[in-house]
Amino acid sequence: NPHLEKMKEDILYHFALGTGTHDFPSLFGDVKFVCVGGSPSRMKAFIAYIAEELGLGSPGCDYPNICAGTDRYAMYKVGPILSVSHGMGIPSISIMLHELIKLLYHAKCSNITIIRIGTSGGIGLEPGSVVITRQSVDATFKPQFEQVVLGKTVVRSTNLDEQLAQELMQCSKEINQFNTVIGNTMCTLDFYEGQGRLDGAICLYNEEEKLQYLKEAYDSGVRNIEMESSVFAAMCNLSGVKGK
C-alpha cells in the first residue's frame, strides 16, 4: 500500500499497537513463522506447546498477550514464532491480516511463512484427520475470493504454496501420528446454511439435498469446510507472503 509511506504514524487499532508507540523492528524483527487460529485460548496454548517443543521456554512459563490493550485479538510470541487469534469468519480474519501484514512490514521482516491452524468440518475423512490446503474454493467450488471494493467486484486467486504443502506432508509422514491429506478447503460465509447443516434456525432443504451437495464438493476435490481460508489465501498472495 503506497499510502502507508505518507503516514506519520500507523496505528494498528485492533492490535492496540502503533508505530509511534512501539518499536516494531525490536519487538518483531526476528519473526519468521506466524501461526493464526480462531480463539485466543487456543493460540496461547499453541505458543506454550511450541515453546516447549523447540526448547524456547520452560514448563509452566506464562506468555503475555501482546495485544492486551484490546479484546479483539490476542497475540503471543516466542523466539521467531508469532501466534495470533483471528476470530471467526472472513471479516474477522481479514481485519486481523491487514494489521498483521502491516506489522511484519513495519518490523522489516523477511521470508515469512503464515500458517492457519484450526478445526474444520471434514468431508469423506475420518475424524481427527489433518487437511493441508492446496487451494481454497468458494461454496460453488471455484478457487477464488470475491470482494466488493469501491462498489466493484474484485476476484482474487486463492491458490496456496504447493511446495509448502509438500513439505508439511513430509513432516506429517515423519511424525506419523495423524491421517493427513492434501486437498481443497471450501470457505463458506456461514456455519449453518452455508455448510449444509440441518440444525440451524433456518433450513429450506432436506437431508438428501445436503448429502448430494457434499458429494459434489468431495468429487470436486474438497476435503474440509471452514470460514476463513479464501481471504487468507488471497491476502497472502497479494502481499507476497508464503501461506498455508
Classify 159 as helix, strand or coil: strand
Within this chain, do residues 155 and 80 fall inside the same structural domain, yes or no?
no
Within this chain, do residues 38 and 126 fall inside the same structural domain, yes or no?
no
Within this chain, do residues 104 and 138 fall inside the same structural domain, yes or no?
no
Within this chain, do residues 1 and 90 fall inside the same structural domain, yes or no?
yes
* pLDDT score at 233: 96
Report residue 62's pLDDT band, with 50, 70 and 90 as the boundaries.
confident
The domain boundary, picked from 94, 118, 142, lies at 118
Q: Any residues with CB less than 8 A from the CB of 16 and at least 6 apart, and which?
A: 67, 68, 69, 70
| H helix intervals, the chain | 24-28, 40-53, 90-106, 162-175, 207-219, 229-239
Above pLDDT 90, what percent of the chain?
92
**Is 195 flagged in the annotation as binding?**
yes
**Is 170 flagged in the annotation as binding?**
no
Within this chain, do residues 194 and 143 fall inside the same structural domain, yes or no?
yes
Domain count of the fold of the chain: 2
**Is 221 flagged in the annotation as binding?**
no
Identity of residue 235: M
Please state, in angstroms and as integers, the Cα–Cα distance from residue 115 to each residue in 56, 212, 240, 242, following that order: 20, 31, 14, 9
Q: Which domain holds residue 156?
A: 119-243
**Is 140 flagged in the annotation as binding?**
no
Helix (H) or strand (E) holding 147: strand 144-149
Within this chain, do residues 69 and 153 fall inside the same structural domain, yes or no?
no
pLDDT tens-digit map of 170-185: 999 999 999 999 999 9
Within this chain, do residues 222 and 135 fall inside the same structural domain, yes or no?
yes
In sequence order, what DSSP letters do the residues of 176-211 get, joined into one string?
Answer: --S-EEEEEEEE-S-SSGGGT-SSSS---S-HHHHH
Within this chain, do residues 135 and 98 fall inside the same structural domain, yes or no?
no
Within this chain, do residues 111 and 214 fall inside the same structural domain, yes or no?
no
CB 168 within 8 A of CB 116: no
**Is 153 flagged in the annotation as binding?**
no
Within this chain, do residues 147 and 107 fall inside the same structural domain, yes or no?
no
The domain boundary, picked from 118, 136, 159, lies at 118
Within this chain, do residues 40 and 1 fall inside the same structural domain, yes or no?
yes
pLDDT tens-digit map of 113-165: 999 999 999 999 999 999 999 999 999 999 999 999 999 999 999 999 999 99
Within this chain, do residues 176 and 239 fall inside the same structural domain, yes or no?
yes
pLDDT tens-digit map of 223-236: 999 999 999 999 99
**Is 119 flagged in the annotation as binding?**
yes
CATH of the domain at 29: 3.40.50.1580
**Is 118 flagged in the annotation as binding?**
yes
Q: Any residues with CB less than 8 A from the CB of 84 and at least 6 apart, and which?
A: 34, 35, 36, 43, 73, 74, 75, 76, 96, 100
